[in-house]
Structure 1
Amino acid sequence: MEQNELVSITQGTLAIMNPTSAEKVLVAGRAAGLKEGSRVVEVGCGNGTILALWGREYGISGLGIETREDACSRAEEAFQATGLGGRLSVRCMDARSYVPAEPFDCAAAIGASHIQGGFAATIDTLLDLVHDEGTIVIGDRYWQSDRTPPEFAREWPEIPTEYEILGAAREAGLDVAAVVRSGADDWDRYESGIWQSVLSWLGSHPDHPERDFMIDYLHRLQDEYFGYGREHMGWAIYVLVPGFW
């Protein structure tokens, strides 16, 4: 199954397509100094929920970039439904091709580091979208320890430890202003939402040619989560600011 279609099936109905909450997203926005008039770009904005939250709470304006057409439509609907259509918009395109006409105050990638090839590469990409005093907000997975059993770590070679995340930020000339971690309830809610979406799809597509693939996919996700993800993998939003050195 094509990757974008798989993401739409498994996560398209989730309000926030990451193991976090609206409250924690707002905490991260406050730590990033978002306020009335701040211009924000979010790479891989999904259905636009995070930008909409920041727009309502902090009065930001800005742009979401998303490659999946169904998600772009949902983001536009979300902006219109919350009265933010005049301040927030979405561009349906590959984020790697986007070049801003002018730099933003804040650039975010919440659960979208895979687009650029990892945490460090995402920092570099987002820095190109902001001015010299701009802030970076990245939501990403991390290994809870550098002693993760190798049979698990091999499955996700791109995931860093938090110490490696700190090093990547400093290497880019940034300081970590805040970290907003996900808890067990955030993970359970997110993973359960994916399982329910897959089960709903299976119930609605009894004769689909990809049915066996989706059953195997569901069971693999659950094996990963119960086998090691719950214990060894974390997720957090990191707010990065220009360093003082």
Structure 2
Amino acid sequence: MDRQTRSLIAHTDHPVEAPLDDSSVDRLLRRALPRGDERVLDLGCGEGAWLLRALHHRPGVTAEGVDVSEEALERARRNAKEARVEERLTLHRTEAASFAAARPFDVVLSVGAAHAFGGLLPTLDAARRHLAPGGVVLAGDAYWEREPSGRARELLGEYEDLAGTVDKVTADGWTPVYAHQSTRHELDDYEWNWTGSLSRWALDNPHHPDSAEALRAADRHREEWLRGYRDSFGFVCLLLRRTVE
């Protein structure tokens, strides 16, 4: 089973592909879309959950999404049609880091997709290329909530603590105008949904050629989370504006 398909299955029962609940997603979008007529871009949109919610709650918004997974984009198209917002949504199958848009956007989203760019600052560099003057970026990425173990660093890589993450962003020319730190409930609920959705799919499809592999992946992920990084991992969504346009 390829990573993209596994991710789609694992996120079946969660509102977005990041550790946020419905109320947090809605609050961040309200902050990012105060007028209700913004042009929005999501770099690494997956199934388009952020965009579909923005389009549903803001009838004047138009949106574009970028992702490499045709399966995810097809789900986004289907869900947009069911929600009757497909005329305001344009989807592009390409690498988010190399996407070129014809016009700038009022809001650029990239939540939980920093791996596609090589980290948070490269993500913000990519977002900057698409951002209209006075626009905002909503970026979500991991940070260390407390000092991680060597095992946690081995599993997830190198991050800063929250203060260091904000320092890094401000030094790069951005000013936070709002932020949300995922709660313990949001973090745990995300992991239980990720492992649970994948496990349930495997158990419901025992004769599928990928069933055993999917169940092993869920077991491995759960073990890494519970014994590896649960006590140190944090996630923050930063709403940012350019300090100097």
TM-score when normalising by structure 1: 0.90
- 1:87 match: 88
Aligned mates of 1:229, 1:197 — CA distance in 2: 20
1:34–1:60 contact (8 Å) kept in structure 2: no
In 2, are the aligned partners of 1:110 and 1:137 still within 8 Å (CA)? yes
Is residue 44–residue 96 contact of structure 2 (8 Å, CA) maintained in 1?
A: yes
What is residue 155 of structure 1 aligned with on the other side? 155
2:87 is paired with a residue of what secondary structure?
coil
Asked if the contact 1:15–1:47 (Cα under 8 Å) also holds between the matched residues in 2, the reply is: no
Q: Per-residue CA shift, 1:199-236, capped at 9, x if unaligned?
A: 22322443555555433322221112222433211112
Q: Deviations over 1:36-58 (max 9, x none)?
A: 22001001112112112122223
Residues 82-91 or 206-215, more deviating: 206-215
Contact 2:151 2:228 in 1 (8 A): no
State how far apart, in whole Å, the 2-side matches of 1:35 and 1:231 are: 39
Q: For 2:71, give the aligned amino acid.
A: D
Question: Aligned runs of 1:164-179 on 2, under 5 Å?
Answer: 164-179=164-179
The AA in structure 2 aligned to 1:190 is Y
Unaligned runs of 5+ in 1: none
Task: Name the CA shift for 1:91/1:13 in 2 (closer, same or farther; >3 Å).
Answer: farther
1:131-188: CA deviation from partner (whole Å, max 9, x where unpaired)? 232211011221102x222232232224332223212221221111111121122123
Aligned to 1:63: 64
Higher mean alpha-carbon deviation, 43-52 vs 158-167, is at 158-167
Q: Which residue of the partner structure matches residue 195 of structure 1?
A: 195
The letter of the residue matching 2:144 is W
Equivalent residue, structure 1, for 2:180 = 180
CA contact (8 A) 2:202 2:212 kept: no
How big is each residue's C-alpha offset from its partner over 1:75-94, in whole Å with a ceiling of 9 and x where there is no partner?
A: 11222222211212222222
**Which residue is 2:243 aligned to?**
243
Q: Structure 1 vs Structure 2: percent identity of aligned residues?
A: 23
**Is the CA contact 1:19–1:190 (under 8 Å) kept in the aligned structure 2?**
yes
Gaps of 5+ in 2: none
Distance in structure 1 (CA, Å) of the matches to 2:16 and 2:114: 16
Structure 2: distance between partners of 1:217 and 1:67: 22
| SS state at 2:36 partner | coil
- Determine whether 1:231 maps to 2:231: yes
Amino acid at match of 1:195: T
In structure 2, what is the Cα distance between the partners aligned to 1:124 and 1:153? 25
Q: How far off is 1:190 after superposition? A: 1.5
- Please tell me the residue identity of whatever aligns with 1:68: S
* 1:1-245 pair list within 5 angstroms: 1-12=1-12, 14-58=14-58, 59-145=60-146, 147-208=147-208, 210-243=210-243
More deviation in 226-235 or 200-209? 200-209
> Counterpart amino acid of 2:90?
S
Q: What's the CA shift for 1:13?
A: 5.2
The more displaced of 163-172 and 10-19 is 10-19
Give secondary structure in 2 for the equivalent of 1:90: strand
Q: Report how far residue 244 of structure 1 moved.
A: 5.7
CA 1:65–1:244 in 2, change beyond 3 Å: closer, same or farther?
A: closer
Separation of aligned partners in 1, 2:171 and 2:214: 40
